[in-house]
Each structure stands twice: as structure tokens, then as C-alpha cells.
Chain A
């Protein structure tokens, strides 16, 4: 691809929309990634993915906006998981249960209703270049919600993610805050899977947060670094995809993965003075 055609691509409204979507996602979704790591719900993606699939299948069957119903069901999932978060065993078990049951329910709904399964499964293979204006609006709304939640609860959230019991003993409403965080996480992932597809959504959520955790010393620094890595990863990945005429999803993952790998590299240790 020549430089001229690369620049020309950015003149296309669809590409511009995709770039805006990645910009918005780069600012907000790494914050969600930080929450996912802090709440130890890395498998939440699978539960959300299948819940969204069920929502879309039901939406197509009932003739209601499928994507809206999917997001609503993701919100219900987040809120219903919250009471289980205080269990010592954590949320992995309940999420695996939800993942399996919703996948089965979605397949049953598709079979019973006879709706076009391709329309439902589209959610698993979303593409940034297929971003619609309404997807961008949803992303912006979610981003505002994520950043507002972070700005208003930052200190309390940091304590909850550090030590849940210490937060309880410090007067923090741990249950309510956990429910809010899970709600934000589930809805954000539900909205993000349109960008990269459910299978690659980690590149815009968890990978920047993982990279940031390797470097940051505080919660605030971790969030700031995660956002920075998210923006850089999205920008470089998207430009590389256009430049080399490759699908954006894998390019985004490769760039985010490379950034994360670099942060795992050992740093130079200070010199140890010799003993005499």
C-alpha cells in the first residue's frame, strides 16, 4: 500500500469513525482492565461474551434491538455477580457457570426461533472497521461512565482492590462499590466486543492494565499508565493495520502484547558495593 492511499483511507468516514472509536476505547477500556485484574475476574470476558450472544439471539427472536438487549443483559450479569464477590472462592466458579448456561441458552434460542445464527455470532467476530455511528455513541457513553466512576471513587476503589476487609474496616461501602465496578466491567466489555470481536477484546482491556501493573507503584499511576499503553497500542495497531493492509484486530493484539512483554523484561538493578 502506498503512502497516498494510506492517507486517503483516513479520509473515509468509516475509517475516521474507527479511529475515534479506538481513541475513546484507548482512554476508557484500560481502566476497565485495571478493574478486571483488581477484582480477579479475568474470565469475565467469556461470561459477558456468551451473555451478549444470548441477548442478541433473544433480540433477533423477539424483534427488539439485539445489541441493546445484549448490553442490558450484561448489566444484569454484573449486578447479579456482585453479591458473590465476597466469597473466598471468588467469582471464577459463578462466571464459568454463567458462561456455560448462557451459551447453551443462546444455542437453544437460535435453534427454537430459527433466526439467522450468523447475525448472532457476528458479536464474536466484530471488527473495528465495521464500527457504526451508534456503536461509537455507546462507546462514548460507556467511556464517560467509566471515567466518572473512576474519578469519583478512586480512593475507595484503590482500597477495595488492595484489601477488601481493610476497606470494610475503613467505612467503604464495599458491596455497593464492587457491584458498581462489576456493572461497569460487564457493560464495557459488552460494548467493546463490537470493536475487536469478543475473542480479541483483551487487547484493549486487560493487556494495557497488565503492562501498567508491572511498572506502577500506586493505583493512580497504574490507571494512568494503562490508559497511555491503551492509546499507544490502539494508535500503532490501527495505523499498522492500514499501512500493511492487515485486519486490525490481530494487529491491535500484537502491538498491545508487545508492549506488555516489554514491561515484563527485567530492569537494571542498582550496583551492589563490593565487600572489603
Chain B
């Protein structure tokens, strides 16, 4: 049992892959999650380069049709959420859903999901809330944005201000908690019954839950942006 717990903790730990020395004996540790993110980025960029070659306007091939259907689906989804005024945020939201989706299911390929590391979800949530507030400022101007905290009545201003922190926190923790939980459960299952059963549960915890969390993350971010630019 002791060994089991240790092994589990070992699995949960996000390892330091290497350190970048910055002089004076101080160095910046680079975590596994960042390295896996690099791998994901590389794969996504290479895949994009390969898939996007030879696009034609007339008589597109099957590959292109599938690609267009996928991107078109995501585009319509975000267009529906953000509206015509929020069109400029669609590419970012698409990037995030692709990244989070891939990051959540990369456990299938033997990597530790980057979203299991809270640093990654914190970064994602930070970017989301910055984007939301920037969208609000861009739409209403700094004055209008400040005023918008006192709406609908001045009384709720503290709650609105609090929301600026609660929103990213909930985004960050929801994603992190789900992925971590799924990862822990999967590790437990793998340790108990290493044959067949993990594959079945992996379908739920890695694929289904992973994609749902990616969806929820971008869905909520889009809603906040829509709210900010209304």
C-alpha cells in the first residue's frame, strides 16, 4: 500500500524536465507540462502545414472537405456565441479549444496532460479574463468599462469586481480539477487492473471528459466575452 501511494504521488508530480540557468546560480525550472505543450504545438503546426496544402476553391478533395467541415463547425459555434461583433475573437477561441482538447486527451499517447498542471490552467484562465476585460474596454472605452461594474445598480459593484477574479479562478480550477481527477482515477485503475478495463474507462475519462472540459472552458470564455461586448 505504501508503495502504491508513493507511485501514485510520483505519477501526479509534474516533473522538472530541465532548468534554464540565468546566472548567479539561479535557474528557471521548465516543467513537464510546458515541454508537452511544445510537443502539442509542434504536432499541431506540422499537421496544419500538411493538411492545409493544396487547398482549392473548386472541387475540394475529401480531406479538404473534412477540414472545412471541422473548422466551419467550430467557426459557426463561436460565431453563434460571440455574435458578429465578437468575430475577431473566434480564431483565439478556436486555438484554445483545439489546444485544450488535444492537451486533455494526450494522456492516451502516454504523455501527462499539460492541463493536469495548475500552472497551465492558471495561464489559460488568466488569458481568458484578460481577453474578456480587453474586449470590454475595447468595446466600451475605459470609462464605460469602469462604469459597467456599477451595473445594473451601484450596490453590486463589489460583486462585479469580485467576478473578475472568481471567473478565471473557476475556469482554472474546473479544468484542472477535472483533468487531475480523471488522471488520478485512470492511474488507480491502471494500477489495480492493468488489462482491458483502463481502455474502457479511458474512453470516458480521457476522451469524453477531456473534450467536454475543453468545450466548457471555451464556452464560458465566449459567454463572458459576449457579455463584455454587449
A, B in one complex: no
Task: Give the A-binding residues of B (Cβ under 8 A).
Answer: none
